Amino acid sequence: MSDFAIRKARPEDRSAIIDICIRTADKGGDGRYLFSQPDYPALLWALPYFALEPDHALVLTTGTKVVGYAVGTSDTASFASKLEHDWWPKLRKDLSANQPVTADDRYVFGYIEKPERVPAEIAKQYPAHLHINLLPEAQGSGLGSQLLDSLLVLLAKASATGVHLGVNHQNEAVTAFYRKLGFVEIARLPSIIMAKPLKA
C-alpha cells in the first residue's frame, strides 16, 4: 500500500474519473454495459464536483494511475444552485442532439432535465454531501476509509456541521463500510441516506 497516495484532483484526471465512475456504476460493479456513452454517469455523480467544487475533489493514485476519487460539497443547497446556473443548462445543450439508448441512459437524461434534490430537512441538518468510488484493486485495504476521511476533513474545515450521502438501495451491503466510519441511516428515498455530524 506504500505506493498509494491521495491528492487534489487535476484537470488531466478527467478521463480516469469517467472510467472509475462507469466501472462502479452498477451498484458498485462494472456498469459499462448499462450506458451507451461512458461519460453519462460521471456527468451526474462526479464531473460537476471537479468543475464546481475543486477544493473538495480528491483522487487516490498508485504510481501515475488514478484508482479512486472522493468528491463533495460543504453546502448542498448552494451547490444545487450552482448546478442549475453553471452545469445543467450547458449539459442540456451539449446533449440536445443525443438520444438515450438504454434504460440507464434514459435515467441520466431525465435527471439532467429534472435534477433530484435531497429533502430540505436533511440538507439543513447535514449540509455537506459526498460521493466516493474506488476500482476493485484499491478496495478492501483501508484506502477507501483514508480517502473518505481526507474529504471529511476538508468539508469540516469549510464549516460544514454534518454530511450525508446516498447508497443505492440494491447495494445495501456497502452501508457496513460507512457505519464503521460513524455514518447512520436516516432515511430511504428509496436511496439509503446515511449521515454523520462533523466537527471543525
What backbone phi and psi angles, to 5 degrees, belong to 16? Answer: -65, -40
Domain ranges of the chain: 4-197
Classify each residue of 121-145 as buried b or exposed e, where b means 16 or more C-beta atoms within 10 Å of its C-beta: ebbeebbbbbbbbbbeebbeeebbe
Distance CA 65, CA 16 (A): 8
CATH number for the domain formed by residue range(s) 4-197: 3.40.630.30
Name the strand (E) or helix (H) holding 117: none
What backbone phi and psi angles, to 5 degrees, belong to 197? Answer: -70, 155
- Tell me how crowded residue 108 is: count the other CB atoms within 10 A of its CB: 24
pLDDT in 10s for each residue of the chain, 200 residues? 469 999 999 999 999 999 999 999 999 999 999 999 999 999 999 999 999 999 999 999 999 999 999 999 999 999 999 999 999 999 999 999 999 999 999 999 999 999 999 999 999 999 999 999 999 999 989 999 999 999 999 999 999 999 999 999 888 999 999 999 999 999 999 899 999 999 87
Contact at 8 Å (CB) between 130 and 141? no
Identify which of 35, 54, 75, 47 has the alpha carbon closest to the alpha carbon of residue 133: 47
